[in-house]
């Protein structure tokens, strides 16, 4: 495994990156595995149909055609957006270090927004006036201290955080396309962020966000950030999920406490009980982060290894046979199971297990779950009527 | 050092305990040291004048005369109160384990109030309506779960905690005498606590509390308790001091969080940042204490050693000479210094250092500070006018 060599891509090579991530059953983790196995996206695209067929895909998986990728790139140019691949210098450094970092981002706005160390601020949509005031103040104080502030441009705390940060650097991470504004009353805010900060998404322009996109979006907010501040959050809320992601990603989790009598404080108080840092101000955040950026500079974690586009491929793992594939398929069920467990139970070499799971995922026969766990995808039973 | 043998005292022996603690320059720690050295209070009372003189006391220190102790005991009986010495069965078990536990307590009320495991609840005098509601609810839920609740009968949180706990066991710890009611509007509450719970003080009946009595009173609240709950407290408040005492005494510290915009939450939020357990309800307290009382039973820490009244005295340490006394006096200044540091700097045996410090304290020449530290007491400079 080698560290990623950061360099700009030609337009043509960038389209290979785009085609691979827009192909069927290819998510960010599969993308990275394909890159490690085949060395560059073009080679992976060639190998894709065969890999999926080996795992028993009933039909050819859909590979994104060149024209489609070209059309996406053209639409982005037309909208004033740019596409940035993970290996390019414009890609946010901290985000790059995630195992499941998006291979290609669409960006609207100023590239230098990603230069300062970033803090995420998230919280309730139905935030109280006090909660909004706190989020705005914390955001304003953070940008004054030289940080950027990332949030999700939702109602409530997100909106307040962007507003507070607008004199400085602020990043809106959207679940749908960069040009799809929700809630509609944030149109002016979107324009301001675009003009002074940055709007970012891993989805193509024009994508209308769906429920399943929001957890991914939340992972990007925390992934961009040294830490995430939760301002108001009920128990069992989306902000709590973001905070848990942040913890899993090794990011600091900060929570603003509140009275037990206020249901919007329940989630934050719970986070603090679970180990989040209690904060009352931007100064508390900065103090807690001091060891991470001793001279006001973010020190991003060492980037994870990533094969180079065009670099020599790592020798591929021995190709799994049908016997091994059968053993592994047998072990998988509707409940997700950890890869380590599959290795232990199958007694197969770890490289073989990873190879089979990659093929099964491409074939749409298994689904990847958080924590490197896999579940089998079953067809719904035929309707008896 | 031997564990304390719990047994009732005769009226006469109890008066020896009372005389010793009511004598000049004898505080609870000196009391314990004298008991360890002389085996019983009567022998310590005899040795007292000589000890103080050796350290250069200009005049005989005042020893509480028998008539005075008898009068205090008689007044207590008349008021329906009783005196309990530390070695007696009626003395609260957890409190007994403190190094500076009061040798004699005055009690009004029901002895069985001390049977259940106890939780202290403290907080702001100028508490908010929400804060009072929370304190009352937490206290009520704790007594329902079989705990007793101790507090200081002050305005605000203390009053609410006692009220909530009144259907069960509640203990009011007063800074002055058990019969001195402050604030005056708590007269009815005092009568109810006395009837259904217990009122406790280390001071004689009739003592009007002074500012310096309150920190001691706070130590008794936490000393009685497995843990202390702080409900509302500003930064730099008395409740925070109680919480710090509790931590030093090895008691659990619980704090109810609040909004950073509410100054009455500042102290609680700070405690949580410093490691206190964030709680929102009695259930949270009970859960955190579960390891300490697995079957709903308090398991008090093993009592500290204590010589027996009437037991054979521990062989006294070698009597310090004038040379050693001079070395130690020289090392002490207006800033408190730890005993360990005195031992290190003087290179004298630890027993000799303790002996000299005991004499100096009895002679009124040094003052004991928290953390086993000592400072020299200087006379105020003569008025130049």
Q: Tell me the per-residue pLDDT of B85-118, one tens digit each, with 9 for 90 and over.
A: 999 999 999 999 898 999 999 999 988 899 999 9
What local confidence, expressed as pLDDT, does residue B120 receive? 97
What local confidence, expressed as pLDDT, does residue B291 receive? 78
What local confidence, expressed as pLDDT, does residue A363 receive? 84
Question: CA–CA separation, A363 vs A48, rounded Å?
Answer: 10
**pLDDT per position as a tens digit, A26-73:** 999 999 989 988 999 999 999 988 888 887 777 788 999 999 999 999
Q: Rounded mean pLDDT of A241-267? A: 92
- Identify the band that residue A325 occupies on the pLDDT scale cut at 50, 70 and 90: confident
Q: Are the beta carbons of B229 and B244 closer than 8 angstroms?
A: no
Residue A272 Cα, gap to closest chain B Cα (Å): 7
Chain B residues closer than 8 Å to A256 by CB:
259-260
**pLDDT per position as a tens digit, A102-118:** 999 999 998 889 999 99
Answer yes or no: is pLDDT of A1 > 70: no
- Identify the band that residue B337 occupies on the pLDDT scale cut at 50, 70 and 90: confident
Chain A residues closer than 8 Å to B261 by CB:
130, 133-134
* Residue-averaged pLDDT of chain A: 87
CB contact under 8 A, B266 and A280: yes
What local confidence, expressed as pLDDT, does residue A296 receive? 46
Answer yes or no: is pLDDT of B1 > 70: no
Nearest CB neighbour to B130, from listed A133, A256, A259: A259
**Chain A interface disruption, residue of B229, B260, B270, most A CBs within 10 A:** B260
Q: What is the DSSP string of B254-303?
A: EE----TT-GGGHHHHHHHHTTPEE-SSHHHHHHHHGGGSTTS---PPPP
Residue A130 Cα, gap to closest chain B Cα (Å): 8
Q: What is the pTM of this model?
A: 0.79
Residue A371 Cα, gap to closest chain B Cα (Å): 29
Question: CA–CA separation, B24 vs B64, rounded Å?
Answer: 8
- Identify the band that residue A308 occupies on the pLDDT scale cut at 50, 70 and 90: very low
Nearest CB neighbour to A257, from listed B133, B134, B258: B258
Q: A130 at the B interface (CB within 8 A)?
A: yes
Answer yes or no: is pLDDT of B165 > 90: yes
**Nearest residue of B to residue A260 by CA position?**
B280
- Identify the band that residue A297 occupies on the pLDDT scale cut at 50, 70 and 90: very low
Q: B134 at the A interface (CB within 8 A)?
A: yes
Q: B95 at the A interface (CB within 8 A)?
A: no
What local confidence, expressed as pLDDT, does residue A278 receive? 97
3-state secondary structure (DSSP) of residue A384:
coil
Q: Where are the beta strands (DSSP E) in chain A?
A: 82-85, 104-109, 118-122, 148-151, 169-173, 198-201, 227-230, 252-255, 277-278, 337-338, 366-369, 373-376
| H or E segment and range at residue A96 | helix A93-96
Cα–Cα nearest to B2, from B376, B385, B314: B314
**Chain A interface disruption, residue of B130, B233, B280, most A CBs within 10 A:** B280
What local confidence, expressed as pLDDT, does residue B138 receive? 98
**pLDDT per position as a tens digit, B21-65:** 999 989 999 999 899 889 899 999 999 888 888 877 777 889 999
Cα–Cα nearest to B264, from B274, B273, B255, B251: B255
A238 or A382, greater pLDDT: A238
Chain B residues closer than 8 Å to A272 by CB:
257, 272, 278
What local confidence, expressed as pLDDT, does residue A293 receive? 61
What local confidence, expressed as pLDDT, does residue B252 receive? 95
* Number of residues in chain B: 385
Q: Rounded mean pLDDT of B71-96? A: 95
Q: Are the beta carbons of B177 and B152 closer than 8 angstroms?
A: no
Q: Is A109 left (phi over 0), alpha (psi -120 to 50) or beta?
A: left
**pLDDT per position as a tens digit, A326-355:** 888 888 888 888 888 888 888 888 888 888
Q: B18 at the A interface (CB within 8 A)?
A: no
CB within 8 Å of chain A, chain B residues 268-297: 269, 272-273, 277-278, 280-281, 284
Residues forming beta bridges with residue A305, ordered by sequence position? A3
**Chain A interface disruption, residue of B127, B273, B276, B288, most A CBs within 10 A:** B273
Cα–Cα nearest to A231, from A92, A364, A120: A120
- Identify the band that residue B144 occupies on the pLDDT scale cut at 50, 70 and 90: very high
Chain A residues closer than 8 Å to B257 by CB:
257-260, 265, 269, 272, 278
DSSP 8-state code for residue B150: E
CB contact under 8 A, A258 and B256: no
Answer yes or no: is pLDDT of B243 > 60: yes
**Chain B interface disruption, residue of A277, A278, A279, A281, most B CBs within 10 A:** A278
CB contact under 8 A, A257 and B261: no
Chain A residues closer than 8 Å to B135 by CB:
none
CA B261, distance to chain mean position in Å, is: 34
DSSP 8-state code for residue B168: S
Q: Quick one: angle between helices A129-144 and A157-165, nearest 10?
A: 30
What local confidence, expressed as pLDDT, does residue B304 receive? 39
**pLDDT per position as a tens digit, B272-310:** 999 999 999 999 999 999 876 654 444 444 333 444 444
Question: Residues B62, B65, B66, CA angle at the centre, nearest 5°?
Answer: 155
- Determine if the peptide bond prior to A165 is cis (ω within 30°): no
Cα–Cα nearest to A90, from A203, A175, A7: A7
**pLDDT per position as a tens digit, A142-193:** 999 999 999 999 999 999 999 999 999 999 999 999 999 989 999 999 999 9
Q: What percent of chain B has pLDDT over 70?
A: 90
C-alpha distances (whole Å) from A140 to each of A151, A168, B179 are: 13, 8, 55
Question: CA–CA separation, A362 vs A27, rounded Å?
Answer: 9
CB within 8 Å of chain B, chain A residues 233-262: 256-262
Q: Are the beta carbons of A107 and A200 closer than 8 angstroms?
A: yes
CB contact under 8 A, B259 and A133: no
* Number of residues in chain A: 385
Q: Rounded mean pLDDT of B8-27? A: 94
**Chain A interface disruption, residue of B258, B267, B277, most A CBs within 10 A:** B258
The token duo for A94 is 């901290």
Q: Are the beta carbons of A102 and A86 closer than 8 angstroms?
A: yes
Chain B residues closer than 8 Å to A257 by CB:
257-260, 265, 269, 272, 278
* Residue-averaged pLDDT of chain B: 87
* Mean pLDDT lowest among A92-101, A360-369, B30-39, B150-159: A360-369
Cα–Cα nearest to B322, from B359, B372, B361, B351: B359
Residue B138 contacts by C-beta under 8 Å, 6 or more apart in sequence?
Answer: B121, B161, B164, B229, B231, B256, B279, B281, B282, B285
- Identify the band that residue B354 occupies on the pLDDT scale cut at 50, 70 and 90: confident
Residues forming beta bridges with residue A366, ordered by sequence position? A376
Q: Which residue has the tokens 């929570």?
A: A255
**pLDDT per position as a tens digit, B192-216:** 999 999 999 999 999 999 988 888 8
The token duo for A175 is 């679940």
Answer yes or no: is pLDDT of B311 > 90: no
Q: B133 at the A interface (CB within 8 A)?
A: yes
Nearest CB neighbour to B273, from listed A133, A262, A278: A278
Question: CA–CA separation, A242 vs B83, rounded Å?
Answer: 59
């Amino acid at each position: 495994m080698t560290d990623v060599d950061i360099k700009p891509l030609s337009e043509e090579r960038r389209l290979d990156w785009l085609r691979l991530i827009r192909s069927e059953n290819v998510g960010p983790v599969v993308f990275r595995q394909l890159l490690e196995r085949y060395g560059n996206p073009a080679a992976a695209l060639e190998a894709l149909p065969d890999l999926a067929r080996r795992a028993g895909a009933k039909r050819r998986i859909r590979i994104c055609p060149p024209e489609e990728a070209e059309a996406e790139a053209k639409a982005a140019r037309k909208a004033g957006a740019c596409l940035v691949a993970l290996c390019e210098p414009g890609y946010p450094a901290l985000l790059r270090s995630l195992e499941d970092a998006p291979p290609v981002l669409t960006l609207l706005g100023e590239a230098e927004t990603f230069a300062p160390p970033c803090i995420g601020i998230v919280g309730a949509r139905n935030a109280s006036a006090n909660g909004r005031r706190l989020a705005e103040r914390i955001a304003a104080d953070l940008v004054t201290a030289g940080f950027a502030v990332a949030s999700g441009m939702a109602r409530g705390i997100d909106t307040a955080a962007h507003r507070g940060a607008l004199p400085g650097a602020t990043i809106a991470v959207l679940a749908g396309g960069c040009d799809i504004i929700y809630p509609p009353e944030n149109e002016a805010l979107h324009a301001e962020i675009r003009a002074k900060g940055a709007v970012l998404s891993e989805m193509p322009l024009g994508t209308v966000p769906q429920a399943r996109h929001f957890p991914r979006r939340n992972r990007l907010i925390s992934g961009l950030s040294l830490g995430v501040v939760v301002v108001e959050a009920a128990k069992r809320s989306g902000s709590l999920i973001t905070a848990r992601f942040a913890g899993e990603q090794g990011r600091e989790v900060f929570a603003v406490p509140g009275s037990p009598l206020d249901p919007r404080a329940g989630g934050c108080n719970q986070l603090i009980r679970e180990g989040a840092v209690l904060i009352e101000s931007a100064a508390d955040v900065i103090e807690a982060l001091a060891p991470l950026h001793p001279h006001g500079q973010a020190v991003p974690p060492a980037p994870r290894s990533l094969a180079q586009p065009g670099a020599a491929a790592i020798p591929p793992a021995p190709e799994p046979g049908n016997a091994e594939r059968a053993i592994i398929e047998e072990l998988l069920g509707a409940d997700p199971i950890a890869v380590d467990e599959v290795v232990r139970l199958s007694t197969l070499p770890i490289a073989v297990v990873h190879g089979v799971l990659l093929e099964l995922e491409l074939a749409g026969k298994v689904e990847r779950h958080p924590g490197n766990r896999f579940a089998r995808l079953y067809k719904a039973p035929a309707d008896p009527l």
